[in-house]
A and B are shown apart, each in its own frame.
Chain A
Amino acid sequence: MIYLAVFFCGAIVMSFEILGSRVLAPNFGSSVFVWGSLISVFLAGLSAGYYLGGRIADINPSARKLSLMLLVPGILLLTFPAYSGPLSDWIFMKDLGVRLSPLIAATILFLLPSIFLGIVSPYTAKLMICSVHTSGKTIGTLYALSTFGSIIGTLITSFYLITIAGVHMLIMGQGVLLVAIALPLYFMNLQCATPVSSSSK
């Protein structure tokens, strides 16, 4: 189940990023500044998420807490069509210039969900390591699954999904998927209490 969550979160990050270019184009165009903004905001979100995820993982990590942290981007994506249009229009009206406008828009729309999706990697690593003792192998598998998920997410979205369904529908679908992953995790009895850790000397 954890492996599945890691795979799908990897897929959703990249799929959401591809769709993000379509979300930004109507108000900010498809200039090189838009692509630059989009990619850097996602990477900023992920790196912040990795850092935060690592810190949070040291405080009694559990599948239930992971579930709650997946619900945040789940709900953000599920309700994305309701706020993305008005927010984009509002930033467009502010007219902050060809570089700053798309950067601010990308930050407002994509930073928060990508932070939470970034948290997943270190958090699941910690969860798995304290239940299994082959930590190198576990971390390696999680990295591989996450990136493999990203590849699949990128390809499926750009080659296929975008040609059969609307952008808003797809983003909401990702939200549904995140919630669907979060629910079983909530009822999973997987946790590691910090005092158990043997490396606390």
Chain B
Amino acid sequence: MAFVFSSTSLVRSETSEKLLFEKNSLYQYISVVEDTVKKERYVRNQKRDYAQGGILVNAPDKLLFEFTQLVFISLAFLDREPKDVLFVGLGAGAMPKYFNKYYPDGMAEIAEIDPDMVSVARKYFFFKENERVKVHAEDGRIFIKRSKKKYDMIFLDAYQNDYIPFHLTTTEFLREVKSKLKEDGVVVSNITSPFRNKLFDSMVMTYREVFPHVYLFKGKKSANFVFVATAGSRKKDRDTIVARAEKVQELKKFDIDLPDIASRYAYSSEYAYEAAKVLTDDFAPVNLYRFQKSGAP
């Protein structure tokens, strides 16, 4: 019975998915797939696995994936409107698009290594560049090192297939990021952690090594964590963040629930596992750590 059940659901899921585009780019396999029943469109790097991004075809401005909503909690860590923001990793372009919609006066820059990803976001995901949304086809780390600008917020969401390239995980990189933040600037990072693995432990410790304060927000529907770190030395407690989230929500009338995300506030000390290794340019076995269980109790 179970067998029949699973085989029919398999057939159904395959017939409802339509392949719109596929290509082997310089960096990855890219496919754009549309679920014709759910009316959702995804961009993937593997044949069938986690999507890198996606949209609702009938409401392309909505943030479909949970992590794309979670990262906007960074707004509650800033006591003013963000002006200059940087996104490292474009995906389907949902986050910069959303930012531009609610902060049309802000300047959004995106560093995306793969030019084909930019074309895909434009063609299939309603992503548009304009004088306030600019894409740089460059390695994120090099873009940050070369940038002369300082940012209010830096969003880190660069994935190669299902892992973060090692040179975007290290203390040296995070110091470079920190040096490009304004005094009260915020960095927010999407960390996929299917279970509490060694990579997660090391990422927590690496962020804590570089930033005075690190906060975590856990996904409810997905295995994503969002790390928020501030350049400033003042710690923000839960009440402050919830209050600020409510205020920003009221002001901006987002279609996401910022106060709900704020209620998942956790200070990073809750997740700190002192024995975990801090990642550096010299030592960062990110590919292995993803598959190793956490040593934390």
Which chain A residues have a beta carbon within 8 Å of chain B's beta carbons? Answer: 22, 25-32, 92, 95, 98, 162-169
Contacts and interface: CB of A to CB of B under 8 A. Distances in A.
Interface stretch (B98-106, B137-145, B238-246): B137-145
Contacts of A92: 145
A32 B27 contact: yes
Contacts of A30: 113, 139, 165, 167
B166 A22 contact: yes
Highest count of chain B CB atoms <10 Å: which of A25, A31, A98, A166: A25
B113 to A, nearest CB: 6
Given A165-B283, A169-B282, 13 more contacts: A22-B166, A27-B142, A27-B145, A28-B139, A29-B139, A30-B139, A30-B167, A31-B113, A32-B26, A162-B285, A163-B288, A164-B285, A166-B283
Contacts of B167: 25-26, 29-30
Contacts of A27: 142, 145
Q: Chain A binding site: helix, strand, loop or mixed by DSSP? A: helix
26 contacts: A22-B166, A22-B281, A25-B141, A25-B281, A26-B141, A26-B167, A26-B281, A27-B142, A28-B139, A29-B113, A29-B138, A29-B140, A30-B113, A30-B139, A30-B167, A31-B113, A32-B26, A32-B27, A95-B146, A98-B138, A98-B142, A163-B288, A166-B280, A166-B283, A167-B282, A168-B282
B172 interface: yes
Interface of B: 26-27, 113, 138-142, 145-146, 165-167, 170, 172-173, 280-283, 285, 288
Highest count of chain A CB atoms <10 Å: which of B172, B280, B282: B282
Contact of A166 (B26, B141, B282): B282
A31 B282 contact: no
B173 A26 contact: yes
Contacts of A32: 26-27
Nearest to A168: B282
A167 B285 CA distance: 11
A22 B282 CA distance: 8
Contacts of A165: 283
Contacts of A164: 285
The 4 tightest CB contacts between A and B, nearest first, are A29-B139, A166-B282, A163-B285, A25-B167
B30 to A, nearest CB: 15
A98 B172 CA distance: 21
Contacts of B142: 27-29, 98
Contacts of B166: 22, 25
Nearest to A85: B281
A162 B280 CA distance: 12
Nearest to A165: B283
A6 B146 CA distance: 42
Contacts of B26: 32
A170 to B, nearest CB: 9
B286 to A, nearest CB: 10
Contacts of B173: 26
Contacts of B283: 165-167
A99 to B, nearest CB: 12
Nearest to A26: B281
A22 B113 CA distance: 17
A166 B170 CA distance: 13
Contacts of A95: 146
Contacts of B141: 25-26, 29
B163 to A, nearest CB: 12
Nearest to A25: B167
Nearest to A169: B282
A32 B24 CA distance: 13
A21 to B, nearest CB: 10
Contacts of B146: 95
B67 to A, nearest CB: 23
Contacts of B140: 29
